[in-house]
Amino acid sequence: MKKDANTDYDIHPLIKQRWSARAFSQEPVEMDKIHRLLEAARWAPSSMNQQPWRFIIGIDKDETHQKLFDTLVEFNQIWAKSPVLILCLGKTKMNMKDEPNEAYSYDVGQAVAYLTIQATQEDLFVHQMGGFDKGIAMELFNIPVSYMPLVILAIGHYGDSDTLPEKIKILEFSPRLRTEIEEMVFSGSFGHKADIFAKK
């Protein structure tokens, strides 16, 4: 199913096409595609090249997949029945010294953005979920305290939206909304709309 962004300006087709689907197919995701998604994440930029991202991947109802699913909040469990689930973690400390890495979550977000764009290229869908129990995830996967669980990704091919419960189906077909561009770009001072867009 397509839900292309209704853009004011021409952008890259993959960015336009990406959206957060909920109707996943049970069809397994090809292993070479999974490899390429994580390779794309690996090549994201990061502050001081610290590469603070780590991933715990569960595939096709293996033990990891089941554990990841169990950490999801009830709302996400209703629909997140994708063959691949990935927990994204951020390393909160610098690699060579015992100091905090202030940019860790920013950098993991960039890696996930790269992964989602690669997924769109592969005809796959990614739905990011903050709705999961981070404490339980820390316990289930023996995650060291210097790593922060940030998001779980549901990844798969598109399935049949008719299989979704009614309240989820409504979300699946609702339009994708964004703040107007002039509301988010300023110049001079915060809140002062930038002329490049205000004149539009």
Residues that bind ligand FMN (CB under 6 A): 19-20, 76, 128-131, 151, 176
Minimum CB–partner distance for residue 113 and ligand FMN (Å)? 9
Q: Pick between residue 76 and residue 193 the one whose CB is nearest to ligand FMN.
A: 76
CA pair distance 27, 22, nearest whole angstrom: 14
CA pair distance 112, 107, nearest whole angstrom: 9
Q: Pick between residue 46 and residue 110 the one whose CB is nearest to ligand FMN.
A: 110
Minimum CB–partner distance for residue 108 and ligand FMN (Å)? 10
Q: Is 54 exposed, middle or buried (0-12, 13-18, 19+ CB in 10 A)?
A: middle
Minimum CB–partner distance for residue 19 and ligand FMN (Å)? 4
Query: 41 φ, ψ to 5°?
Result: -60, -40
Residue type at position 38: L
Q: Pick between residue 101 and residue 128 the one whose CB is nearest to ligand FMN.
A: 128
Minimum CB–partner distance for residue 20 and ligand FMN (Å)? 3
- Sheet with 125-129: strands ordered across: 53-59, 84-91, 147-156, 125-129
Q: Pick between residue 37 and residue 193 the one whose CB is nearest to ligand FMN.
A: 37
Residue type at position 49: N
Position closest to ligand FMN via CB? 131
